[in-house]
Structure 1
Amino acid sequence: MKTGLFHTCKNYKVQYLPKDILSGIIMAAVSIPIAMGYAEVAGLPAVYGLYGSVFPILLFAIFSTSPQFIMGVDAAPAAIVGAALATLGIAPASEEAMQFVPMVALFAGVWLLVFYLFHAGKIVDFISTPVMGGFISGIAVTIILMQIPKILGNSSGSGELVELIRHIIKACENINIVSVILGVSSLVAIVVVRKFAPKFPMAVVVMAAGVFLTCVCHIDEYGVRLLAEVEPGMPSFFFPELGKVNLTQAAGRGLMVAVVIMAETLLSENNFAFKNGYKIDDNREILACGVSNLAAAFVGCCPVNGSISRTSMNEQYGGKTQVVSITAGLSMILLLLFGTGFIGYLPVPVLTAIVISALMKVVEFDLAKRLYEVSKNEFYIFVAAFLGVLLLGTIYGVIIGMLLSFVAVILRATNPPRAFLGVIPGREGFYDRKKNRYAYEIEHVLIYQFSESLFFANIKIFQEDIESHIKDDTKVVIVDAGAVTGIDITAADRLELLAENLQKRGIRFYLTEHMDTVNVQMRKLGIGHLIEEGHVRRTITAALYDAGLQEPYVLSGLDERKQKFLMSIPAEAENTLEEFTWAFGEDTVEEIEKRVHLVLENIQKMPDLENLVEQGLEKYMETWHSLGVIDEDEFLRRMELHMDELSKNLSAQDNRAVILELIEKRRRRIMEQVQKEHPEVLERLEASRVRLEHRLEKQNPEAAKRLHEWEEKIKKNHEKNTDR
């Protein structure tokens, strides 16, 4: 564990100082509008965002082990607190809100310290990315909807989606055009500049422009609302009046905020650490967050959180250590002492636009798109958490998302990867018969691989898989339990029953390859007699030997001649295209086509095209070069399909005809070689060609048509030359 204060400033290098100071000043400038906006979201006067940008940031810098991460008033905690106020019927900026919000920060800090003492950072492992993404996105969209009425010149909305939409509709009845123009133009300016110049602090410029318009154009005279004036000076310390606060609600919301702060901060900090090649101490970061939130509470502010957006900006400007945070905190002190006069001139629509622009970066619809393409189940979890927050509030959103995460885990465990294994002649080990065309079942033996721990929710699948694949002549059932790390009592009872039923049918049953801890569990669960009776063996080979079977095994559906042939095939050469299917799945055809084009490009560089006939394609395939005869035959056919894509150097018909003829010669050579050396494969090669033709005609009908025309033309020319 990393100890000591100012950890990131140890062995400090002087050359870091200019960039650290510059980045710190920029962090302070950027934090002014964002922190003020989020303070309003949390139900506090805007100036409390500045108060929360001094001591919390400085204390985080003292305790943190992350050289880059920036702490501050941020979206998620502010939104949770703001939503809590709406749920409890507490008016923003009221005396009750001024008491309740800091108490939530206080409890959040206390909970974080408890997490620190119990090393509870692993809680984060139970909050999946879809849940966190949907939760944060739901909060961000909720706040954006709350802010829209302020752009229209009204007060902010409250409640969940239905109430927020009603408030927006009502606000549309009394629109202030100047406010709308000011807010929309500010938002557009920030979004556009951020796209083309992400380093430029446009939010600060927009804020300055709003103050300028107030001073010069007096836009407040046109009904545009301004922030309340603030007296200069440091914040006074907050002492809660316990009688005015619902402590149960504050503690509950504080717990939720603490979990979100810990999860979001640790996940983000570890991402930055991994990307930039340094390590952090997770537990020390929890302590830093806890101390920062206690500091926020003591100045009357809302909870604070690690800011991804400000940390990204710090990274862009080259900040190296927490001297950045110290500079930002000191800059904010100077602002509070000497520069708060501008706050009373800041138009509310401008500040609202800055908040909305910041929240737009928080909404993770790009994550939703990625999940939809990769994992539908995780996409639905994201949507459930998102809609839960939007429709029902933050608490229900988190609960729904986490429940669905556990459901997804259970569903995944109930349908684990599993396979039936066989033997490849001449090879050691056992192979999935579906993925290896030359893997054959051992005669009278069923070998079943189950890749998940056995428990109440999946033992039925385990049992049904085995029973449905037992044949009349099956004498041995062997389970490869290498991935089984545990068994529960339900699975133990079913396993015992399965062994008994198989024994009654004269079938030997074995459990193999598992860890010794599973044997310990079996004994504790009362099925240790299976071990004593010989149903447990350390390896599949040991189980086969116990059943009276030794190498070479007799394989089902394979005579001695064919087995001898298979033993002569190189290990890597018999299933390259099957490996393509295994590796690339739905993109298999596309990936094969890429290699076809690569080989075509190499052919154009060949000094002697006749080499194609003699040597084949292996030397031109680069990383995926090993080809069996059937695979090479298919590859050559696909090349013929793309002859019209050769470069202009080979555009003449006679050149194309030459290459087509060479390819066809190679295919004939393959046929002759198979007929001479392995006639038993000839029938399979011919059947493969027929299937391939049908497949290619479906995949690329136009190219197949052109190829057939070319072949017909070459055939006629060949017949004409023969007649002469």
Structure 2
Amino acid sequence: MLSDLLTGIIIAAVSIPISMGYAQIAGLPAVYGLYGSVFPIIIFGLLSTSRQFVFGVDAAPAALVGAALVTLGVTPGTEQAMQVVPVITFFTALWLLVFFLFKAGKLVNYISTPVMGGFISGICTTIILMQVPKLYGAGAGTGELFELVEHIAETIGDVNVPSIIMGLTALAVLLVSRRFIPKFPMAICVMAAGALLSCVIDMDEYGIVCLSEVSRGLPQIVVPQIDERMLPNIMTVSLSIAVVIMAETLLAENNFAQKNRYKIDDNQELLAFGMANLAAAFTGCCPINGSVSRTTMSEQYGGRTQLTGIFAGVVMIVILVCGTGFIGYLPVPVLTAIVISALYSALEFDLAAKLWKVSKVEFYIFCGAFLGVLVLGTINGVLIGIILSFAAVIRKAADPPRSFLGLVPGHEEFLALERFKHAYPIQNIVIYRFSSNLFFANIAIFQKDIMDAVQDDTKAVIVDASAMGSVDVTAAKTLRIMYDTLKEKGVKLYITEHIGQLNVQLRKLGLGDMIEAGCVRQTMERALSDCGLESPYPLVGVHNSYHDIRRKRAEHMAQELVWAFGDDAEDVIEKHIRESIGSMKNGTGVEQLMTGFWKQMDIQDEEEWLEHMEAHIEEIVRATGEDEDSVAERIERRRSQLLHRLESEHPEFVDRYKARRKRMDEHLKEHNPAAYDAIIRLREKEHTKEK
């Protein structure tokens, strides 16, 4: 708490020149900057989920309000401006509360780290350029890069030597102390030294500017008076200001939260923004925003909680009530050095250097956001960064990692042929891994890779779709064309290793018949087995392969039919059984029916299939002319084989299998008592024989 208190004092002191200057930019008397640093900051501190972020009168909203006054024909600093500005602040607060109700804070989740880094660096650089003229005795600049550079060029000829010596000395002390004693509150010492120096010498004699004195007293409650003639323009202006506050502050808050490893509630922050701006409106102030410079300073000097902002608000109350005389002794160059020092430490050019080494694309995104903010302003910089981020996402998705797979003799996994020189493809089989969702931007690459790889002797194409979570309409249409083309060539197409939800999408996109034809399999081994191949597989250029990749996994008991057809699995089974019964002739068809329509079925799937057959025993008897006991005996014989196979391959699932068998018997008894009686008679007969 002590560090929060000391940091709060620093923040309050530094807020004095910053807030007064921005209030004047917004067209208000300077003292209103101090008013905006009292109740709005305290309310934000009570509502915010950020541990460290500081709210206050800041550059972007102030500049937008100042520009809006010109558009509205209002002269800054006049009585009319003091009436219009709180109305703009009031509607800005209402817009922020609307954003809160609609949970618009989630939008920040779509902004990447390079965008955040470029955005913060752009804002910091902009404010530094605004502050630089104050080091040598000129007024602060406004606008974006070109206006700021032009202002510096115009004022640099009138440099006040004592001012720049004082400012640069203070800046050097702060930068050096941050390097060697970062936790020491050097800002307070530098500020106190500047005030003492003002007491000892006459600053006016040396041309060094000090802050203007302000009248004592707390802000009075102001009820915004709405001029209906200006209301449409004010609504538009306040919306743009609210968007800037939301984007700028949420981005900066998330940046600090990521850096310091904590989470914030973006939507709760919008509530805090809105309520803080309501407080600003009713104290006659301009819209307020999150302050990167003050937050960076708070972080530098050990501020750990929102008590820092609350203490800063309380300190500002004390200053307004009984300490405004002190303000006149603060040299502007010293305070400017403190602000520049804080902003310098918030620059993230080290992130840019890292991105240059790791990812050139993300480096360019950083630069786009940085230059966008610096040259075009806050909101345009954010928009540029977001557009670049989405462009990078589409680019990555359009050209995803992909490879053809093979096997290394003696190893269990399928490996990329281009990366592993000892990996060999399986004879007559193309295995292709595609590590992305399949959609309009990358389906052409997918199609070209596969069709170019198919040779005259290719028997099957197996796609490892383990990283594929979705397929869009364009991709589904191309898959249909590929499937039909390959089928004409006698080549089977399999999609494997993917999640079951992808099968749901494929069915909705009209590719259900491909699934029923066995085009999807849970594993690559299943697809190879469906092609008639079992491990060890024949490899191109390798004799006597000794690898074995048969994986004993729980998925083998996961019912592949349910995975492939989802909730429609039972309906699909019923449909195929009825179709098969309809095509039977006397004395034939039972054995073919027992094999099912889905090759290489799981034990659980076969059990499911046999259960459905049991429910249709009477129809099978009528179609084939066989007696009921004979059909039931075949089903039971096959079921016994399945149990022996399970005991051999997966003994850990035997108890589960028997429990499920019991439930299925109860289901059969309820829905087809005659078939159930026939099965029970047969079992009792077999049991008697065994005795």
Shift of 1:99: 5.8
User: How many angstroms does 1:428 deviate by?
Assistant: 3.6
In the alignment, the residues of structure 2 paired with residue 434 and residue 98 of structure 1 have an alpha-carbon distance, to the nearest angstrom, of 71
1:23 aligns with 2:4: yes
1:410 is matched with: 394
Instruction: Specify the code of the residue in structure 1 equivalent to 2:7.
Output: I
Displacement of 1:303: 4.5
Name which of 251, 255, 263 aligns with 2:239.
251
**What pairs up with 1:94-493 in 2 under 5 angstroms?**
94-95=77-78, 105-243=89-227, 246-247=233-234, 248-269=236-257, 271-274=259-262, 281-305=265-289, 322-493=306-477
CA distance in 1, matches of 2:300, 2:345: 16
Q: Structure 1, residues 687-716: CA drift from partner, whole Å, max 9, x if none?
A: xxxxxxxxxxxxxxxxxxxxxxxxxxxxxx
How far has the Cα of 1:262 moved from its partner? 2.3
Corresponding residue to 2:59 among 54, 65, 78:
78
TM-score (norm 1): 0.68
Give runs of aligned pairs for residues 32-71 of structure 1, distance below 5 A.
32-34=13-15, 36-41=17-22, 43=25, 47-65=31-49, 68-71=51-54
User: 41-50 vs 537-546, which deviates more?
Assistant: 41-50
How far did 1:444 drift? 0.3
Cα shift readout 1:544-568 (whole Å, capped 9, x = no counterpart)? 12222222211111012xx34x789
Partner-residue secondary structure (3-state), 2:400: coil
Query: Does the CA-based 8 Å contact 1:85-1:97 persist in structure 2?
Result: no
Which shows bigger deviation, 457-466 or 109-118?
Answer: 109-118
1:132 is displaced (CA, Å) by 2.0
Contact in 1 for aligned 2:183/2:302 (Cα 8 Å): no
CA shift for structure 1 position 22: 4.9
Give the Cα separation in 2 of the matches to 1:137 and 1:318: 22
* Cα distance change of structure 1 residues 280 and 343 upon mapping to structure 2, 3 Å threshold: same
Residue number in structure 1 paired with 2:510 = 526
Q: Distance in 1 between matches of 2:83 and 2:400?
A: 52
Q: In structure 2, how many angstroms separate the alpha carbons of the residues matched to 1:37 and 1:164?
A: 17
Report the equivalent of 2:553: none
Report if aligned partners of 1:108, 1:257 keep a CA contact under 8 Å in 2.
no
The DSSP-based 3-state class of the residue aligned with 2:328 is helix
2:337 and 2:307 mapped to 1: Cα distance?
A: 30
Percent identity between the two aligned chains:
50
Shift of 1:236: 2.1
Shift of 1:335: 2.0
Deviation per CA, 1:86-126: give whole Å up to 9, x if none: 58758996347656665565455434433433334321211
Task: Find the aligned partners of 1:309 and 1:391 in 2 and give their Cα distance.
Answer: 20
Q: Name the amino acid aligned to 1:462.
A: F
Letter in 1 for 2:212: A
**Conserved 8 A contact 2:119-2:382:** yes
CA contact (8 A) 1:79 1:139 kept: no
1:156-195 CA distances to partner (integer Å, 9 max, x unpaired)?
Answer: 2233322222221111232222222222222222222222
Give per-residue Cα distances to partners, 1:373-407, cap 9 Å, x unaligned.
Answer: 21111110111111122222223222211111110
Distance in 1 (CA, whole Å) between partners of 2:183 and 2:9 is 15
Match in the other structure for 1:5 = none
Whole-angstrom CA distance in 2 between matches of 1:217 and 1:379: 50
CA contact (8 A) 2:494 2:527 kept: yes
Q: 8 Å contact 2:7–2:302 — kept in the other structure?
A: no
CA distance in 2, matches of 1:314, 1:186: 18
Whole-Å separation in 2 of the counterparts to 1:554 and 1:483 = 27
Conservation of the 8 A alpha-carbon contact between 2:182 and 2:301? no
Distance 1:167 1:311 in 2: 27
The alpha-carbon deviation at position 317 of structure 1 amounts to 7.0
**Pair 1:101–1:141, CA change in 2 (3 A):** farther
TM-superposed CA distance for 1:480, in Å, is 0.9
Specify the SS of the correspondent of 1:345: coil
Label 1:349 to 1:439 Cα distance change in 2 as closer, same or farther (>3 A). Answer: same
Does the 8 Å CA contact 1:81/1:253 hold for their aligned counterparts? no
Q: Bigger radius of gyration, 1 or 2?
A: 2
Q: What letter corresponds to residue 141 of structure 2 in structure 1?
A: G
Q: What is the CA–CA distance in structure 2 between the aligned matches of 1:437 and 1:567, rounded to whole Å?
A: 19
Change (3 A) 1:63 1:144: closer
Give deviations 1:328-350, integer Å, cap 9, x for gaps. 43333222211111212323323
TM-score under structure 2 length normalisation: 0.71
Q: Which digits, 9 at most, give the CA deviation of each residue in 1:486-517, with x for residues without a partner?
A: 11111111111111121222211111122222
Q: Distance in 1 between matches of 2:246 and 2:11?
A: 25
Separation in 2, partners of 1:100, 1:484: 55
Distance in 1 (CA, whole Å) between partners of 2:287 and 2:175 is: 27
Distance in 2 separating the partners of 1:212 and 1:85? 35
Q: CA RMSD in A?
A: 3.0
For 2:52, give the aligned amino acid. Answer: F
Instruction: Provide the rounded CA distance (Å) in 2 between the counterparts of 1:46 and 1:505.
Output: 81
Distance 1:482 1:23 in 2: 50
Distance in 2 between residues matched to 1:421 and 1:100, nearest whole Å: 69
How far apart are the structure 1 equivalents of 2:142 and 2:81?
A: 14
**Residue 683 of structure 1 aligns with which residue?**
none
Contact 1:183 1:349 in 2 (8 A): yes
1:437–1:381 Cα change, 3 Å: same
> 5+ residue gaps in structure 1?
1-19, 569-724
Q: Which amino acid aligns with 1:23?
A: D
Q: Give, in whole Å, the separation in 2 of the partners of 1:143 and 1:72.
A: 16
**Alpha-carbon deviations, 1:202-223, whole Å to 9, x = none?**
2223333333333321112333
* Aligned pairs for 1:551-700 within 5 A: 551-560=535-544, 563-564=545-546
Letter in 2 for 1:212: L
Residues 497-542 of structure 1 show CA distances to partners (whole Å, capped at 9, x for unaligned) of 1111212222111111222222222222223222233222222122
Distance in structure 1 (CA, Å) of the matches to 2:139 and 2:311: 35
Change (3 A) 1:239 1:545: same
Question: Could you tell me how far apart the structure 1 residues matched to 2:476 and 2:392 are?
Answer: 24
Q: Which residue is 1:537 aligned to? A: 521
The structure-2 alpha-carbon separation of the partners of 1:350 and 1:163, relative to structure 1 and needing over 3 Å to count, comes to same
Name the structure 2 match of 1:573: none
Q: Distance in 2 between matches of 1:365 and 1:503?
A: 55
2: distance between equivalents of 1:331 and 1:324? Answer: 10
Q: Structure 2 vs 1, CA of residues 92 and 495 (structure 1 numbering), >3 Å: closer, same or farther?
A: farther
Contact 1:113 1:287 in 2 (8 A): yes
What's the secondary structure of 1:431's corresponding residue? strand
How many residues in Structure 1 have an aligned counterpart in Structure 2? 539
Whether the 8 Å CA contact 1:105–1:254 is kept in 2: the answer is no
Question: Kindly tell me: are residues 178 and 396 of structure 1, through their superposed partners in 2, closer, same or farther at Cα, counting changes over 3 Å?
Answer: same
